[in-house]
Amino acid sequence: MTGSGRRRGAVGVMGGTFDPIHMGHLVIAETAREALSLDTMLFVPAGTPPHKPASEVTAVEHRVAMVELAIADNVAFELSRIEVDRAGPSYTVDTVEQLAADWDVTVILSAETFRELPTWHEPDRLFAAARVAVVPREGYPAPDPAWLGGTFPGRENRVTYLEAPHLGLSSTAIRARVAAGRSIRYLVPPAVEAYITANDLYTTHRRTAPS
């Protein structure tokens, strides 16, 4: 995917653990793709999330499989294994710099995650390599442009603020619903729901790789 030296258009990057991927992720991705006229939206599952103990994250091949199922019907959506196949912590800036060799990259962040950006690994490198698009998150205030100017001076023109539906979904809540025996229908794509059931995910805290 990288290393050709040939720019291949505009790409959006949706990163995360996707444990599991849900309809909120897909709605945000499609909203950003349309609003920013992106050629492709890359879904980048984290291999080793730096802020979460490995024991708290479902095995990566399960998470990758669910992403593949969720995006299969959208030709503009694509799975990237760039973090899964790279050893070490999944730092977004390393991913973005690698992708930026071939694409014009925009990183899609929720308002919640955007506020956490100062705690990320070398965030200023992220702004140097890519643009950032911020989408709303239910329960979190809209970003304050003045905060961006004070925290990352000179980077204000690297950020776009998008309007998107406030769905209020979270992977944490979905896992809890499964564990409690409650329905997740219409919260995740049907194929993802079927995968979770078939692999007994979240009911018994299973986090091992598929056999």
Residue 181 Ramachandran class (φ > 0 left, ψ -120 to 50 alpha, else beta): left
Per-residue pLDDT averaged across 198-203, rounded?
A: 96
**What confidence score (pLDDT) does residue 89 get?**
84
Q: How far apart are CA 207 and CA 23, in angstroms?
A: 22
Highest mean pLDDT among 4-13, 19-28, 158-167: 19-28
The model's pTM is 0.89
pLDDT digits (tens, 9 = 90+) for 47-60: 887 767 666 899 99
Distances (CA, A) of 89 to 47, 50, 125, 159: 7, 5, 17, 25
pLDDT band for position 143 (cuts 50, 70, 90):
confident
pLDDT greater at residue 1 or residue 185: 185
pLDDT band for position 108 (cuts 50, 70, 90):
very high
**What confidence score (pLDDT) does residue 141 get?**
78
**What confidence score (pLDDT) does residue 62 get?**
97
DSSP H helical ranges for the chain: 23-35, 60-71, 92-99, 111-115, 123-129, 145-151, 171-179, 190-198
Helices (H) and strands (E) in the chain, counts: 8, 6
pLDDT greater at residue 60 or residue 141: 60
Which domains does the chain possess? 10-171 (3.40.50.620)
pLDDT digits (tens, 9 = 90+) for 53-80: 666 899 999 999 999 999 999 999 999 9
